[in-house]
Amino acid sequence: MTAIPPPPGPDPLWQQLATGAFAGRPARLLASTGSTNSDALALGRQGAAAGTVIVAETQSGGRGRLGRPWLSPSGTGLYFSVILRPRLAPADFPKITLAAGLAVSQAVEAETGLFPGIKWPNDLLLAGRKFCGILTEGEPLAAPGPLAVLGIGLNVSTPHAVFPEELRGRATSLLAHSGRVYPRGPLLAAILARLEAVLNRLENHDFPGIMAEWRRRDALTGRRLTWMTPRGAIVTGTALGPDEEGVLHLRDEAGVVQEVLSGDLRLAGG
């Protein structure tokens, strides 16, 4: 993890960092790294302040939920992590991901006019294709206080041809979807501002209000899904949406309502 000085010439992302447009948040921009989440965890364990942002132009080991790799081509996306010191009970840490999904989708809508859907628990979609993934990792019982890092990978200007063939039917970017190029710096600033506001609501016990807004963007309710449980069983059924605690409910083919807490979840046939 090596910080680098701003390059010559205009670059909106660098300019946002250099001109203090992040409302005083400590920020590091890296030419490349393995994973911004790994960097953030290391910095957090060393005592880095809440709100510290680690941004990379590219990652060699970006990861998503269930350890899946996240493609991070240089200069085309936003790959960043935010250090949090949540005032939450350990059992409430999973709610960070859901709250972040709402915040990022709101910021994208405000900056682009697009309306992302949210695929429980951590993906943002445009026309059914994923363009953003969110990964929360944490140590709720860490000393001297709770630590969480919120990692976000967002395909901004990634050309469709860059995606591996096996992903082209399921992945997209803001550019591939809309045909427009959006500056990364203002988009990152908007996301961080929305994150701060929504996570403050979470810490102040407004998760029901967050979920009411989240459900308006729910991309799964009523859809047939295939769920691979943590034990490897395959369950197919209809998504009923998340409850007030953010737990997804799935009515299986026998009519039994299952609680989905973890595991792999895909659209049936997808």
Name which of 131, 127, 76 is nearest 108 in CA terms: 131
Query: What tokens does 40 get?
Result: 């953030």
| Among 215, 232, 249, residue at a domain's last position | 215
11 has pLDDT over 80: no
Tally the domains of the chain.
Answer: 2
What integer pLDDT is reported at residue 249 of this predicted model? Answer: 96
Q: Give yes or no: residues 238 and 139 share one domain.
A: no
CATH of the domain at 253: 2.30.30.100
What integer pLDDT is reported at residue 169 of this predicted model? Answer: 84
Query: Is 27 within the bounds of a domain?
Result: yes
Query: Is 1 within the bounds of a domain?
Result: no
Name which of 69, 70, 65, 72 is nearest 31 in CA terms: 72
Q: Give yes or no: residues 91 and 198 share one domain.
A: yes
pLDDT digits (tens, 9 = 90+) for 100-153: 999 999 999 999 999 999 999 999 999 999 999 999 998 887 777 789 999 999
Q: Give yes or no: residues 51 and 142 share one domain.
A: yes
Q: Give yes or no: residues 158 and 247 share one domain.
A: no
| Among 196, 215, 234, residue at a domain's last position | 215
Determine contact, residues 142/45, Cβ cutoff 8 Å: yes
pLDDT digits (tens, 9 = 90+) for 215-225: 999 999 999 99
**Phi, psi at 199, each rounded to 5°:** -70, -30
Q: Give yes or no: residues 192 and 245 share one domain.
A: no
Query: Is 4 within the bounds of a domain?
Result: no
Query: Is 3 within the bounds of a domain?
Result: no
Q: Give yes or no: residues 123 and 253 share one domain.
A: no
Which residues does residue 125 pair with via DSSP β-bridges, in sequence order? 117, 130
CATH of the domain at 208: 3.30.930.10
Determine contact, residues 194/107, Cβ cutoff 8 Å: yes
Q: Give yes or no: residues 179 and 240 share one domain.
A: no
Q: Give yes or no: residues 206 and 229 share one domain.
A: no
Q: What angle do CA 104, 217, 162 make, to 5 degrees?
A: 55
Q: Give yes or no: residues 71 and 119 share one domain.
A: yes
Query: Is 70 within the bounds of a domain?
Result: yes
Query: Is 68 within the bounds of a domain?
Result: yes
Range of the domain at 104: 12-215
The model's pTM is: 0.89
